Structure 1
Amino acid sequence: MKKPSLITAITLFLFGIVLHFPFPDRTPFGTRIFSVVGIPAYSNTETETGLHYVGLTALFCLVISLMIFYYLLPKWRGRVIFSLILIFLFVPTALISSYQSMFATGINGIVYHKEWSNCLYELNEIEMVAEIECVIPLENKGRTDVTFELEMVERFFSKDDLKTYSLLQSQTIKLYRQQKKVIRIEGTFNMSGEEAYYYYSESSGIDIILKEESGKERML
């Protein structure tokens, strides 16, 4: 076994994990690293769509490291490769969950169950009033109670896209330690003076920003 090659494989593997580590924001930690060195994280930076350079780099590091391990460890290559893939996929999430339960304070302890989030926008054509309701499931797994401001962020993929749930004002939320809560945010808006508007819209997987009074933010 060649020690330099083994060190290279371990380094690439760990760097790949760091790049795709999904904390503290919704985007991988590698996005921050790319931003610091001036490299775009996406091919379309305005909408954060297209090729995801952070993900591709993390995948490249994983593949190269697995190839090196494959040739360095012929007797255990199957078990080693399988184990490393499991580590790459599941250990970051397990580490985050453990950190939030044991050490996290403030908004770092907040878990957002994004897959259950939903926003419904309906226009009352008679009164020309838009009725909006959003459901945001949150859980405070941290060690302390936390008060924060919750803002919903709407992505626009073309100049013709119109605001729906982002019309709602940010809300101040308090979650007690270990509390689970479904946040409901509602509002009505007069659309009679608008030139363009939707009649109906439904969205899920809502992007949100949590803001503490200290100025700390998390984008989830």
Structure 2
Amino acid sequence: MLKSKPALYVSVSMIVIAMIMSFPFELNSPYGPERTSVLSIPKRTVEGTVYVGVITVSILLLGIVFLVIALKEYRARAVIMTVLLFMFGPLMIAEAYQTTFATGIDAISYDKERSTCSYEAKDETTMTAQCELYLQNHSKEDVSFKLTFYEEEFLKGPQYMNNGGPFDIIVPPKNENPIIVKRVLKLEKEQPFSGSDSHFNVILEAEGKKRIL
């Protein structure tokens, strides 16, 4: 079955290194929302090229090449199993870590599918805003942090909300209720509007650490 033990050792080492490097990507989007990704590893985001992601994918591909070189048979099966392991292994480890050992903002997960912000213009310079943010704390203690909204060109709301931020948030343990953020925003140049936003990203910061969710 084996054709080259050295090639197998190199392959396993490179695949393990790639999995370790991919671990942080499973906890958050440290470089902003994804634009291009391979096997859930971002190669390009709204901030530009993610060189760590490119290097991670490159190491994985080299590991797969050495795996093919190392084996005489069952190459296709080995490659498929490696890809599946890489896709789901770090994700399962990250989820297990977050729900058991993580503390501080690492223990916070964010459901952006359910989170919404609504806006209502009051006059030419004033608008009211209310956001329901589904943030869950998987640790056993309160987690406090400052929250801002990730600004993107196609969403007006985040930049308006950030005029009233950053927001001091405290999430109690095992919280399942939405965190409500309300503000009356007085704007000088921007034109207030009425409407709502969803599927937006948020930035958590605490003790010198930053997560984009």
TM-score of the superposition, structure 1-length normalised?
Answer: 0.74
Give yes or no for the alignment of 1:152 onto 2:148: yes
CA distance in 2, matches of 1:173, 1:197: 31
Q: CA deviation at 1:151?
A: 1.0
Q: 2:44 aligned with 1:27, yes or no? A: no
Which residue in the other structure is 1:197 paired with? 191
User: What SS does structure 1 have at the residue aligned with 2:190?
Assistant: coil
**Structure 1 letter corresponding to 2:20:** V
Which residue pairs with 1:38 in the alignment? Answer: none
Report the Cα distance in structure 2 between the residues aligned to 1:128 and 1:56, rounded to whole angstroms: 45
In 2, Cα distance between the equivalents of 1:74 and 1:42? Answer: 32
1:31 — aligned with what?
none
Aligned mates of 1:200, 1:53 — CA distance in 2:
39
User: C-alpha separation between the residues in 2 aligned to 1:67 and 1:25?
Assistant: 29
Question: 1:219 Cα shift?
Answer: 1.0
Across the aligned residues of Structure 1 and Structure 2, the Cα RMSD in angstroms comes to 3.0
Q: CA deviation at 1:127?
A: 5.5
**Equivalent position to 2:107, from 92, 95, 109:** 109
| Counterpart mapping for 1:68-147 below 5 A | 68-124=66-122, 126=123, 128-142=125-139, 144-147=140-143
Q: Which amino acid aligns with 1:26?
A: S
- Aligned match of 2:7: 5
Write the letter of the residue equivalent to 1:131. T
Q: Is contact 1:121–1:164 with CA below 8 Å preserved after alignment?
A: no
Give the distance between the partners of 1:48 and 1:87, measured in 2 at CA. 29
Equivalent AA in structure 2 for residue 71 of structure 1 = I
Structure 2 unaligned segments of length 5 or more: list them. Answer: 32-41
Once the two structures are overlaid, the 10-residue window that deviates more, 180-189 or 147-156, is 147-156
Amino acid at match of 1:153: F
State the shift of 1:187 in Å: 0.8
Deviations 1:39-79 (A, max 9, x none): xx9889xx613x33222222212222112212322322122
In the TM superposition, residue 87 of structure 1 has moved relative to its aligned partner by 1.1
Task: Note if contact 1:120-1:132 (Cα within 8 Å) is conserved in structure 2.
Answer: yes
* Separation in 2, partners of 1:121, 1:6: 58
Deviation at 1:149, TM superposition (A): 2.2
- Counting aligned pairs with the same residue, the percent is 21
Query: How far apart are 1:216 and its partner, in Å?
Result: 5.0
